């Protein structure tokens, strides 16, 4: 075990075929396989040290003492079990992501935590195995272990539910313009929202069937470097996921007025010949999928409605890495 903090850096990912529902809430086994793109711009640096002097786990987020929630506790419990230790951990995490605003901060956070904690506990795991540990913290973190296009195989047990790289580095020209419409934590967590959708939406079975088809088709589109097919599948898949929230009982939505405006801008641009598509997660932010040649046109259209500070352009990003102390 290391007597210093071991640091890892992981980037966020945005799902193009979404994960929205658990088959096993304890092990975080999803209802369907999903596929994402890891982004370069948003990331989390986390340092972990197991220290026999500690009487409890201690977590600092951006240098502020934070409660060790269920997700962190679960992830650490898995690491301790694998390493055969009982020692408590000091964790320091620095988020370069607007927290809990639908920019998948838990994806980068738990990929970084799992990687740093495993290394600090003296474990040597493959990246697929690391993705299983990250999964136990938060589902979307499974995919942030790898860079580029990544698939999370749903599986049906702890050892069959893991991520695999589909293409890294990414061959096609693809960018994501993030329109940050709310930097505040959301009211309905993904965890609650997806559970409610599984339990109450009459369309859940249809979603599962469609998501399986979307996955097959998007992998073919990636292989063919067919940007428009990737964008079209991502947009339709996202809207079908959001239809589950609208059809839940009680119904809910992550859209706000600005989200609808951003989606409208994308559709208008497309009608006028600019190839761009949108996707949305469990928050109001809209992510626009585009190619470099159209970036300026899209940003100009967005500037008519949104201020410059709300727009961030991302490229495909790398998988998790062990880093030196970033402080
Ligand atoms: C995804 N999202 O595939 C989907 C699409 C949000 C919308 O995974 O309960 O924080 O910790 O497994 O991973 C966000 O949910 O949920 C998410 P838990 P997580 O990216």
Name the residue with higher pLDDT: 99 or 158.
158
Token readout for 75 is 């992830």
Token readout for 259 is 């989200």
Q: Which atom of ligand 1 is nearest to the CA of 18?
A: 3
CATH topology classification for 175-314: Alpha-Beta Plaits (3.30.70)
Q: Is residue 108 within 6 Å of ligand 1 at its C-beta?
A: no
Contact 47, 325 (CB under 8 A): yes
Quote the CA–CA distance of 49 and 7 in Å, as a whole number: 9
To test the pocket of ligand 1, the residue of 21, 104, 211, 280 to mutate (highest count of ligand atoms within 8 Å of its CB) is 104
Q: Which atom of ligand 1 is nearest to the CA of 107?
A: 13
Q: Convert the pLDDT of each residue in 35-78 to its tens digit.
A: 999 999 999 999 999 999 999 999 999 999 999 999 999 999 99
- Given this model, what pLDDT does residue 1 score? 63
Name the DSSP letter for residue 134: H
- Given this model, what pLDDT does residue 320 score? 98
**This prediction's pTM:** 0.96
pLDDT surpassing 70 at residue 184: no
pLDDT surpassing 80 at residue 101: no
Contact 291, 88 (CB under 8 A): no
DSSP of 285-306, one letter per residue?
-EEEEE-GGGHHHHHHHHHTTS
Q: How many A from CA of 297 to the centre of ligand 1? A: 31
Token readout for 245 is 């929230």
Question: Residue 211: which of 197, 225, 200, 196 has the closest Cα?
Answer: 197
Q: Is residue 19 within 6 Å of ligand 1 at its C-beta?
A: yes
Q: How many A from CA of 212 to the centre of ligand 1? A: 17
Q: How many A from CA of 19 to the centre of ligand 1? A: 6
Directed axis angle between helix 227-246 and helix 190-200, to 10°?
80
Q: Is residue 281 within 6 Å of ligand 1 at its C-beta?
A: yes
Query: Which of helix, strand or coil describes residue 177?
Result: strand
Q: Residue 104: which pLDDT band, with cuts at 50, 70 and 90?
A: low
Beta carbons within 8 Å of 155's beta carbon, 6+ residues apart: 29, 161, 162
H/E stretch holding 221 reads: helix 204-223
Q: Is residue 138 within 6 Å of ligand 1 at its C-beta?
A: yes
Q: Convert the pLDDT of each residue in 208-221 to its tens digit.
A: 999 999 999 999 99
- Given this model, what pLDDT does residue 98 score? 60
Q: Is residue 282 within 6 Å of ligand 1 at its C-beta?
A: yes
Instruction: Identify the burial level of 96 via C-beta atoms within 10 angstroms of its C-beta, where 0-12 means exposed, 13-18 middle and 19 or more buried.
Output: middle
The domain over range 6-170+317-323 is classified in CATH as 3.40.50.2000: no
Q: How many A from CA of 309 to the centre of ligand 1? A: 25
Quote the CA–CA distance of 310 and 296 in Å, as a whole number: 15
Domain positions in the chain are 6-170+317-323, 175-314
Question: Residue 295: which of 269, 272, 327, 262 has the closest Cα?
Answer: 269
Instruction: Calculate the CA 26 to chain-centre distance.
Output: 19
Q: How many A from CA of 111 to the centre of ligand 1? A: 13
Q: Is residue 140 within 6 Å of ligand 1 at its C-beta?
A: yes
pLDDT surpassing 60 at residue 262: yes
């Amino acid at each position: 075990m290391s007597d210093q903090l071991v640091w890892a850096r992981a980037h966020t990912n945005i799902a193009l075929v979404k994960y929205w529902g658990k088959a096993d809430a304890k092990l975080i086994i999803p209802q369907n396989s999903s596929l994402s793109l890891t982004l370069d711009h948003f990331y989390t640096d986390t340092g972990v040290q197991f220290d026999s002097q500690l009487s409890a786990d201690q977590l600092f987020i951006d240098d502020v003492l934070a409660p060790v929630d269920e997700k962190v506790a679960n992830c650490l419990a898995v690491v301790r079990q694998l390493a055969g230790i009982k020692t408590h951990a000091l964790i320091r995490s620095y988020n370069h992501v607007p927290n809990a605003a639908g920019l998948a901060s838990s994806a980068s956070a738990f990929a970084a935590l799992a990687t740093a904690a495993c290394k600090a506990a003296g474990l040597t795991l493959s990246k697929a195995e690391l993705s299983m540990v990250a999964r136990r913290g938060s589902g979307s973190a499974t995919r942030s272990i790898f860079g580029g296009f990544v698939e999370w195989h749903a599986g049906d047990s702890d050892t069959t539910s893991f991520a695999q790289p589909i293409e890294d580095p990414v061959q096609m020209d693809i960018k994501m313009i993030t329109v940050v419409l709310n930097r505040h934590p959301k009211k309905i967590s993904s965890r609650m929202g997806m559970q409610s959708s599984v339990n109450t939406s009459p369309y859940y079975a249809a979603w599962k069937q469609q998501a399986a088809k979307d996955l097959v088709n998007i992998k073919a589109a990636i292989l063919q470097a067919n940007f428009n097919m990737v964008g079209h599948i991502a947009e339709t898949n996202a809207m079908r996921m959001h239809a589950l929230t609208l059809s839940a009982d009680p119904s809910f939505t992550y859209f706000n007025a600005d989200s609808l405006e951003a989606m409208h801008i994308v559709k208008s641009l497309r009608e006028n010949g600019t190839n761009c598509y949108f996707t949305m997660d469990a928050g109001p932010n809209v992510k626009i999928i585009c190619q470099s040649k159209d970036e300026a046109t899209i940003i100009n259209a967005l500037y008519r409605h949104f201020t410059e500070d709300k727009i961030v352009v991302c490229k495909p990003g790398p998988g998790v890495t062990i880093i030196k102390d970033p402080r």
